[in-house]
Amino acid sequence: MQPKRPSNPTGRDADPRRTIPLQSGAWKRLRARVLAEEPLCRECGALATDVDHASGDPSDNSRANLNPLCHSCHSSKTMRERNGSTTGHDASGMPTDPRHPWNSGRENEKSLGSFAYRPWLPPFFQRNGRG
């Protein structure tokens, strides 16, 4: 018999600030209430399946701190927080993180306005008909 490998710590067992265990009846009732009050993901509008602590503090279970998210948006937010980046995207959908690969060559965009020609995007993504 092989020894059990230690698992990577996750939000379920790594954060000592968590005041309500995620497998408890109290959390399941709170989660169900949040999803019943707001069934759509706050990020993308899909059906919400997860409840996120918006502040990142799992000890704050106030309703104002609990946001319904779809699993994909919740996973993305968690990874951004773990990597130390809480940046997202701007109104046009472009990443706000200057290190993101899509942002190479965007230096001149500010002078050209929001409808700047983006040669690195395929023609069907161009906004001003060029390409």
**Residue 81 near residue 56, CB atoms below 8 Å:** yes
pLDDT single digits (tens) 82-123: 777 655 667 677 777 777 677 666 554 544 444 455 555 555
| In a domain? residue 9 | no
- The whole domain housing 54 covers 14-83
pLDDT single digits (tens) 38-75: 999 998 999 999 999 988 888 899 999 999 999 999 98
Q: Is the pLDDT of residue 24 over 60?
A: yes
CATH of the domain at 70: 3.40.1800
| In a domain? residue 76 | yes
| In a domain? residue 120 | no
| In a domain? residue 45 | yes
| In a domain? residue 57 | yes
Q: Give the count of domains, the chain.
A: 1
pLDDT band at 12 (very low <50, low <70, confident <90, very high): low
**Helix/strand/coil percentages in the chain, nearest 5:** 30, 10, 60
pLDDT score for 52: 93
| In a domain? residue 22 | yes
**Residue 58 near residue 31, CB atoms below 8 Å:** no
CA distance 69 to 42: 6
| In a domain? residue 47 | yes
User: Containing H/E element for 50?
Assistant: strand 50-53
Q: Is the pLDDT of residue 131 over 50?
A: no
